[in-house]
Amino acid sequence: MLNVLAGRIASGDVSGKVLANGKPRDPQRWRRIASFVEQDDVLFQNLTVRETLLYAAQLRLPSTMAQSEKEARVDAIIEGLGLSACAKTYIGSADKRGISGGERKRVCIGCELVTDPDLLFLDEPTSGLDAFTASSVVETLRALAKAQRKTILTTIHQPRTEILYMFDRVILLALGRCVFSGSIQEGVEYFAAQGFPCPPLTNPSDHFIDTITVDFRSPERRISSLERICTLHDAWVAATAHDVAKVFETADDEPEADALQPASYCNSFAKELGILTRRAMLNVSRDLASIKAIVLKTCIFIVLFGALYFRMPNDAAGGINRIGLLFLVAVHTTMTTMIPIISSFPPIKTIIKRELASGAYRSWSGFLAQTIASLVLPISSTFLFALTVYWIVGLQATLAKYATFVLFLCVHSAVACMIGVSISGVAPNAFVGQIAGSIFVLISLIFGGQVVDLPSVTPYVHYAYVGISQNEFNGLKIDCQRSSKQLCLPEGEMVIEEFSLNDVSLYWNLPANIALGTGALLIGAIAFHYKTRPVMKLSSTPEPEIVLESVSE
């Protein structure tokens, strides 16, 4: 119900009308007067409270507003929500100490308050919080509603008595039907009048839930509870028939529109991209745990490759070892880049989807900014790996070939990142994304040119493998006099020909790899755009209206 009222239903059929002050919601103005706080408090863990709110203000407030005004509004929100003590504290996560659960919820509320909405929706704001923290959050909401005269609608399940009486009005739903709407005291009196008095020393919310919940413990209890619910619903419909009729008489007959049609954005695409990229880069640069893990991983593989292929000689065995080394280098770059990206992107995707639903920015800028930020650590790791491994294993000691090797691996890492972001952006969750990524990597390995000799099939890994192989073997002289029983090809070009490493020229290899990554990124961006497009369809069937009163437009 809350999602329908807020216009957050992206699929399914919804009948009836949602009226704000007796009129259908205006598509262009709805986002400006209404905000939605989701149940899950997903935030960038490496930003401070103030930074989180400030970036929300930069994205959602008009570009014509001065930066000083945006900062002043953020500071006012921080003070109003009681976040001054933790304004410079990192958000944190389950693995990183940060702010408390109640403070996280208030930060999420603050992100929606930057636009100064008249109507604020909250989906179970006390879920997962202890009794004291839950009471603190609801008390903050009540103070906000009173001080700033905002209409706040929230869902809540079985609150304790002190919390329950903080609400001015409650709506009780049973099987999707309204059985009561009014204050808590009115609810107690109404249920008593219907023959369901609240027992002494009992939380009214517990009594209401027990009364309007279907009891499935036996067929008899199920039928009895259904009859009780129908009785309460019929009684409420009869008691409010006059009020509903008045709404029908005063309601505007303008045709209903999509609740969330694309509206104008506060910033241009370029400015959005700049703000989002700075935020994403700041979050990545402060992720010390990931940085340490990547550095450690890189050092381990440098030592491993160095131990296996240390200073390879230019003989027949060295030539064969070079082929194995170069293929493993391409595979290593693929897997150590793509799989971590697929695993780390889903939480970020959740934040992007929430902000897109609020109309903060375009999906294209959000997807591209996160892709840019995702490139930093993998490319840095690959750059460090390529710089050191090249000399340790004894590849051709010329500056041109050294630079080409490093360039090819860095581009290969960037393409792996693009493909990983695209897979993760399309996949419904991290588990599916990891499976899809693993399948992609496996297929690339099979047809990469080392496992199966299919030179006409040139997928992703094959480009990097062929490129660095041609770079190494072109001009390489192999000493066949030092060879024993192994087949020896004295010229590196002969090795390229023998192992079918010449199907893509060195000069076309790099553009082909970049084109593959760009194509994958474009497909991922298009799919992500349509998967996250916040559109709600309302049918025109003549069902009863839902009315939101006292909402300023």
323-332 per-position pLDDT tens digit: 889 989 998 9
Q: Which amino acid is at 338?
A: M
Is 549 within a domain?
A: no
Range of the domain at 187: 170-252
Phi, psi of 486 (to 5 degrees): -80, 150
Please report where in the chains the tokens 């000691």 appear, as a residue. Answer: 397
Does a structural domain hold residue 313?
yes
| pLDDT > 70: percent of the chain | 88
In this prediction, residue 245 carries a pLDDT of 53
Flag the least confident range among 168-177, 204-213, 261-270, 531-540: 531-540
Residue of 506, 322, 353 whose CA lies nearest to 425: 353
Cα gap 398→476, rounded to integer Å:
11
SS (H, E, C) 389-420: HHHHHCCCCCHHHHHHHHHHHHHHHHHHHHHH
Q: In the predicted model, what is the mean pLDDT of the chain?
A: 84
Q: In whole angstroms, give the CA distance from residue 131 to residue 55.
A: 31
Q: 219, 252, 285 — which closes off a domain?
A: 252
Q: Which residues pair with 17 in a beta bridge?
A: 545
Phi-psi region of 167 (alpha: psi -120 to 50; beta: other; left: phi over 0): beta
Tokens of 418: 């693009």
Q: Is 109 domain-assigned?
A: yes
Phi, psi (5° rounding) for residue 179?
-115, -10
Are 293 and 390 found together in one domain? yes
Residue 423 half-sphere exposure toward CB, CA atoms < 13 A? 27
Cα separation, 550 vs 548, in Å, equals 7
Q: Is residue 546 part of a domain?
A: no
3-class SS at 51?
helix
| pLDDT, position 455 | 52
Q: Indicate if 185 and 161 belong to the same structural domain.
A: no
CA 391 from chain centre, in angstroms, equals 41
Is residue 502 a part of any domain in this protein? yes
Extract the tokens encoding 226: 């259904």
- What's the total number of domains in the chain? 3
Instruction: Output the pLDDT for position 441.
Output: 81
The one-letter amino acid code at 196 reads F
Gap between the Cα atoms of 67 and 70, Å rounded? 5
Same domain, 400 and 502: yes
Give the model's confidence band at 2: pLDDT under 50 very low, under 70 low, under 90 confident, else very high.
confident
Tokens encoding 43: 């935030």
Domain-located, residue 551: no
User: Sorting pLDDT into bands at 50, 70 and 90, what band is 444?
Assistant: confident
pLDDT of residue 499: 80
Cβ neighbours of residue 192 closer than 8 Å, sequence gap 6 or more = 198
* Cβ pair 333, 413 in contact under 8 A: yes
Query: Please, are residues 270 and 355 in contact by the beta-carbon 8 Å criterion?
Result: no
- Flag whether 539 is in a domain: no
Kindly state whether residues 522 and 476 are assigned to the same domain. yes
Give the length of the chain: 553
Q: Which helix (H) or strand (E) holds 529?
A: helix 506-531
**Could you give the CA distance from residue 328 to residue 272 in angstroms, rounded to a whole number?**
39
Residue 298: inside a domain: yes
pLDDT at 7 over 80: no
- CATH number, residue 5: 3.40.50.300
| Two structure tokens written together for 463 | 């480009």
CA distances from 145 to 3, 11, 148, 210, 527 (A): 20, 31, 6, 30, 39
Give the tens place of pLDDT for each residue, 53-78.
999 999 999 888 999 999 999 999 99
Please answer whether residues 181 and 172 qualify as being in contact, where contact means their C-beta atoms are separated by less than 8 angstroms: yes
Alpha carbon distance, N-terminus to C-terminus of the chain: 22
Looking at residue 404, what is its pLDDT? 93
Whether residues 162 and 194 fall in one domain: no
Residue where one domain finishes, among candidates 168, 187, 208 = 168
Domain stops at, among 111, 135, 168: 168
Asked if 6 and 34 count as a contact pair (C-beta separation under 8 A), the reply is yes
| CA angle, residues 27, 30, 35, in degrees to nearest 5 | 145
SS3 of 225-248: HHHHHHHHHHHHHHHHHHHHHHHH
Q: Do 215 and 162 share a structural domain?
A: no
Residue pLDDT, tens place only, 133-163: 888 889 989 998 888 888 899 988 778 888 8
Q: Specify the pLDDT at position 389.
A: 94
Pairing of strands 34-37, 545-548: unpaired
Q: Are residues 177 and 162 in the same domain?
A: no
pLDDT of residue 51: 96
Q: Same structural domain for residues 349 and 484?
A: yes
DSSP, residue by residue, 472-490: HHTT-B--GGG--SS---S
3-state secondary structure of 360: coil
Same domain, 274 and 409: yes
Same domain, 140 and 205: no
Both 293 and 234 in one domain: the answer is no
Kindly state whether residues 203 and 94 are assigned to the same domain: no
